[in-house]
Amino acid sequence: MSEPDWNWGYQPDQTAQAHHQGQPGGWAPPAPQHSDYYGGAPTPQAPVPPTQPNYSQWDPNASVPTYDQSGFGGVPAGNFANGAPNAYGNNQFAAAAQGFMGDPMFNAAKTFGGQFAEQQKQALSQYISSFNLKYYFAVDTKYVGRKIGILLFPFAPRDWSTQFGGDGKPVPAKLDVNAPDLYVPLMAFITYVLISGFVFGVQQRFSPEQLGMQTTNALFYLFLENMIVFITKYVLNISQSLSLWHTLAFTGYKFVGIVVCLVLYLLGGTTIYYCALVYMVLAITIFLARSLKSFVLDMQSGGYNAYDGGRKRKMYMLLSVVVTQALIMYLLTSSVTSYMGDNLDFAKMALSKMGVKSKDVPMTADGEVDYEALLKMP
Amino acid sequence: MFSLYSILEFTLLVLNGFAIVNKERVLNKYLKNNQHSFHGEDSSVTMRLVHLILSIQTVLRVPLIAINTVVIVFKVLLG
């Protein structure tokens, strides 16, 4: 496409009638309104092309550039007269849009808006300090593989300390296996929701609302756990190195174990599920105890906190956090797996909870459960 | 074991309990020892608990009124 008419077809030496006559489509604004729009600037200069963002070069003291007739007066209005009639409509809208974009007021507003947004972002980032989520997602495949290996089998690694980079900040996850990340917990959480939906489907009690309910339930337990850790950190005056994102990462690691337990339940049944649950609880407990020990007890970050006593309190908090993992893991999976898949489940559940291990529930002739005989059973 | 709703109810009732604690009767015993002039030195567990309760009261008194009203209306209407 040829060079668009930056002046919207404005020819200052044309009269208004010739202006209206010569232009096809007549969308070009008439000359008196045109100059009013530009604040009465008589000699337009070359505008900044709209595709080039030069925010850094914008000088706030410079006035709004005026049009220069010389550069673009040569673009004839006949450009549009030469356009083919079927390309006429496209030409009109594209040229209108680019005429608008070439408008210096619009450019000025755009650059000023950009600068304003930059300033606000800097001012805001002073308040939300250390909001650096990118650190937690700097992972690669090797790290994910090794992390999942450590989660499932925490007895092998010997070194649990996290390394620090050059400027005292912890090293991102690509370079250090022990660094916490948010990618593995996020993926494990989503996998847990999907697999629990799958288990529901196998048990023939799936509906799309179940997915939402499982998500809400698990998210709520996660949120509750993090709030408890947060408040406990404040009350017991434990160090600053365990930020909120760190605890979120560490509490999210148990979903990997939960996913493995659910998969084994699908493959094997209830007994394998319980064995896997016990083993996963053990693994997660050891993993968390060893990881958090290096964070909470030995971390020398900050430098303000000369009061480094209270190791007993920190151990208490650590142990309590670690023990509640077991409870939550059981809670999250029990609702999925405790289902006896026959349509007399109420009666059988009631019988098994009563301790009666009988297999046959008395039935009436209709095939319904005979409750009177059920109540009369020993 | 515990449903989501019962845990939410539990937190609401506990927060109500925190908001009701009368400063003069209970907390002054702890606040008299402390000068309460600077906030860098409240490193004992009891002082931090007292500060936690005080801040919960300051922040949450008015929103708790609203939340309690909503919950009461729901329980009256829906059983």
A46 secondary structure, DSSP code: P
Q: What is the 3-state secondary structure (H, E, C) of A74-126?
A: CCCCHHHHCCCHHHHHHHHHHHHHHHHHCCHHHHHHHHHHHHHHHHHHHHHHH
Cα–Cα nearest to B16, from B60, B75, B69: B60
Q: What is the pLDDT along chain A (378 residues), one digit of tens a residue?
A: 566 667 676 666 544 444 444 444 444 444 444 444 444 444 444 444 444 444 444 444 544 444 444 444 444 444 444 444 444 455 566 556 666 666 788 888 888 888 888 887 777 765 555 557 777 888 888 888 888 888 888 887 777 776 766 555 667 766 777 778 889 999 999 999 898 888 888 888 888 888 888 888 888 888 888 888 788 777 776 666 677 788 888 888 888 888 888 888 888 878 888 888 888 888 888 888 777 776 666 554 443 444 455 666 666 777 777 777 777 777 777 666 665 444 444 555 555 566 555 556 666 666 666 677 667 766
Instruction: Give contacts of B1 with chain A, Cβ < 8 Å.
Output: 331, 334
Q: What residue numbers bound the domain in which B66 lies?
A: 4-78
A164 secondary structure, DSSP code: B
CB pair distance less than 8 Å for B48 and A234: yes
Q: Is the dihedral of CA B28, B32, B35, B40 positive or negative?
A: negative
What residues does A173 pair with on adjacent strands? none
CB pair distance less than 8 Å for A217 and B4: yes
CB pair distance less than 8 Å for A313 and B52: no
Mutate to test the interface with B, among A223, A233, A235, A317 (most CBs of B within 10 A): A235
How many structural domains comprise chain B? 1
CB pair distance less than 8 Å for B7 and A231: no
- Determine the residue type at A29: P
pTM for the complete prediction?
A: 0.59
**Would you call A304 an interface residue with chain B, using a CB distance cutoff of 8 Å?**
no
**How far, in Å, CA of A344 to CA of A69, rounded?**
89
CB pair distance less than 8 Å for B52 and A231: yes
Instruction: Give contacts of B43 with chain A, Cβ < 8 Å.
Output: 237, 307
- Determine the residue type at A260: V
- The ipTM of this complex is 0.79
Q: How many CB pairs under 8 A join A and B?
A: 21
